[in-house]
Amino acid sequence: MRRSRIWSPGRGAPVRRALTTLVATGVALLVAAGCAAPAPVDPGPPPVPAAPVTADLTRADVDAWLDGLLPAALERSGIAGAAVAVVHDGEVLTARGFGHAGSAPVDPDRTLFRVGSVSKVVTATAVLQQVEQGRIDLDADVRQYLDFALPLRFDPPVTMRHLLTHTAGFEERVRGLIVHGEESPDLRTALVEDPPEQVFAPGTTPGYSNYGYALAGYVVERVTGTPFDEQVRRAVLEPAGMSSSTFAQPLPAELRDRLSAGYLSTDGPPMPFETVGVAPAGSLTASATDMARFVRALLDEPGAGSLLAPRTAELMRSPGLGPDTLGTFAQGPRMTLGMFDESRNGRQVLGHGGDTTQFHSHLQVYPAERTGVFVSLNSTGRGGIDTLEIRRALLDGFADRYFPAGGDPAPPVTGADAAAVAGTYESTRASYSTFLSALGLVGQTEVTARPDGTLLVTPGPGSAQPVGYRAIRPAVWQEIGGQRVLTTRTTGDRVTGIGFESAFTLQRTGPFRDASIAVPVLAASVVTLLVGLLAWPAGALLRRRGMPARASLGRADRILHLLTRFAAGCALVALAGWTAVVSLVSGLAEVPVPLLHGLQAAQWIALNGTLVAAAAVVTAVRGGAGRWQVGGRIGLLLGLAGVAWIAIAFGLLSSSVGY
């Protein structure tokens, strides 16, 4: 789940003013997007690793380390508060609060945080309890548990195993994911209304899906006959001793005053309560010490409250799918039934992150070391990736301090074909059937083969900077100077996909969706259409001042040229409108459906205007128009054709208003 902003249409503003604002904003953004990006900086050779030094995993050492890390990081990033809990050897080693939660300091026992998608680990636990009891079959068609039709395009059928490993094949949808205000969303309604399309065959392509986990939670509700939040309270939260935790929305009266205020940053006021529309995917509210109790229960520590039988707990900690469906993606990190493989320093580490608009959390467990870490922040920070960097510094720093790597890194593979991997890729966590497909214009990853046989990935996975990778096994590449791993999928002799995290993969773009080509074409089209439209009043003004009139080409030609200009205006309005809408929706804001229909209509007018513009060029040539007249019409034709290409390739002509 990602951050969002609140947006609501202004009231009483004239339509003309609104459209003018959209055009100005959209054109500025589109032209800016076409500017050349700075050349990526080569990260160079890997650093020489220092000899590992293990600190004592004691409360005193962890507290001192946290004191040296978090307060300064929160102050620097504009984050109001944080809570951290560490479990080791069956005990809560430490639980700390930093900064403030609004009117009071953060208290790890009392202050509640919205943990976002960390909720999915609890949801998976609730599912596996029903697997234990024989109510759910991990490998049965999930539709047998539902009371509504689930539109699917591929065989084999979607199973609970697919839902828990993010491999059901659903595209991304964000409408209603998070809304601001204390509502009580209906889970079934959220699932039935405007479901996402299935765009990949089940089990083959990891693609993170909030919808998939909401569906898994609804199956729990169906087989138990109990509302999801109530079932989880009885079967997971209470047995684990999590008395300050709930999936309920809004919060129960006894917990409401304990919720931390949430902020975009300390520079602004607290934000309203966030309601998660697909509750099983991210609506858990909990304290840091409650999450520590959950970690103890996951690790099956004595006295922690038994949640799963040992065999089921081991199943939850094991990869959920193998190479029979994932292919070479199975050589990299794989999802378990509910958690990401975040192994580090040669040790198994399982975890899950979670982000709402205000709260940012992460949970990790070390099964063999009987250790776990939980961190939550109540602000997004001033920078785009502040919370990501703080969480990474804390979690990676914890692993490197207390469980460092041993031994030498794997030698690189000689003869690896970096050129076969090079190209442009897009995330599989994307919308394919709606206008949100246009996010592909700004969210692509460029992979470059370097002369030494390594890869440069821009931006690197989980990073805003370019990252270098070297081959360590066939189809497996490791971060230079780091531990992240990429895996490649090959179709024929061509690499078509890259796996980079347990539930995230990239797929190669086609030439029509390559942003390095599409963005300059779009920018040139916008400029051409603007010039063509502005030339009309400019020419009329010059003629009034004595410039010879253009040759008259007849009434039919005048109508064609007028319609061409109208289509050009519609194209600019549509592009500016989509730019504003995509920006709002990517921040999880709601957009009025009539506005979407209006933009769709304008986009179709612009598309049809390409044919009209072609006819206008023909009549101008046949009528003996001057070179400037013909050139201007050709410019409008090319501008409309460029916009038509973008509209077709990036979903702007989709009939769906879902997102």
At 529-577, the pLDDT tens digits run: 999 998 866 555 545 555 454 555 688 888 998 999 999 999 999 999 9
CATH 3.40.710.10, applies to 59-402: yes
Write down the pLDDT at residue 408: 66
The pTM of this model reads: 0.88
Beta carbons of 504 and 206 less than 8 angstroms apart: yes
Q: Is the peptide bond before 459 cis (omega within 30 degrees of 0)?
A: yes
Q: How far apart are CA 210 and CA 154, in angstroms?
A: 20
The full set of domain ranges for the chain reads 59-402, 418-509, 513-649
Bridge-based pairing of strands 178-180 and 274-276 is antiparallel
Tens digit of pLDDT for each residue in 141-198? 999 999 999 989 998 999 999 999 999 999 999 998 999 888 899 999 999 998 999 9
Residue type, 297: A
Tens digit of pLDDT for each residue in 246-305? 999 999 999 999 999 999 999 999 999 999 999 999 999 999 999 999 999 999 888 888
For 48-52, 64-68, 273-277, 454-458, which range has the lowest pLDDT when averaged over its residues? 48-52
Three-state secondary-structure class, residue 179 = strand
Q: Is the peptide bond before 250 cis (omega within 30 degrees of 0)?
A: yes
Tens digit of pLDDT for each residue in 320-359? 999 999 999 999 999 999 999 999 999 999 999 999 999 9
pLDDT of 38 above 70? no
Annotate 200-264 with three-state secondary structure.
Answer: CCCCCCCCCCHHHHHHHHHHHHHHHCCCHHHHHHHHHHCCCCCCCCECCCCCCHHHHCCECCEEC
Nearest CA among 537, 88, 553, 161 for reference residue 318: 161
Beta carbons of 279 and 99 less than 8 angstroms apart: no
Q: Given its phi and psi angles, is residue 57 left (phi above 0), alpha (psi -120 to 50 degrees) or beta?
A: beta
Query: For residue 310, what are the contacts with CB-CB under 8 A and spacing of at least 6?
Result: 300
Q: Average of pLDDT values for 567-595?
A: 92
Q: How far apart are CA 437 and CA 439, in angstroms?
A: 5
Phi, psi angles (nearest 5°) of residue 351: -160, 180
Give Cα separations from 352 to 101, 162, 320, 355, 538 (angstroms): 23, 17, 15, 10, 59
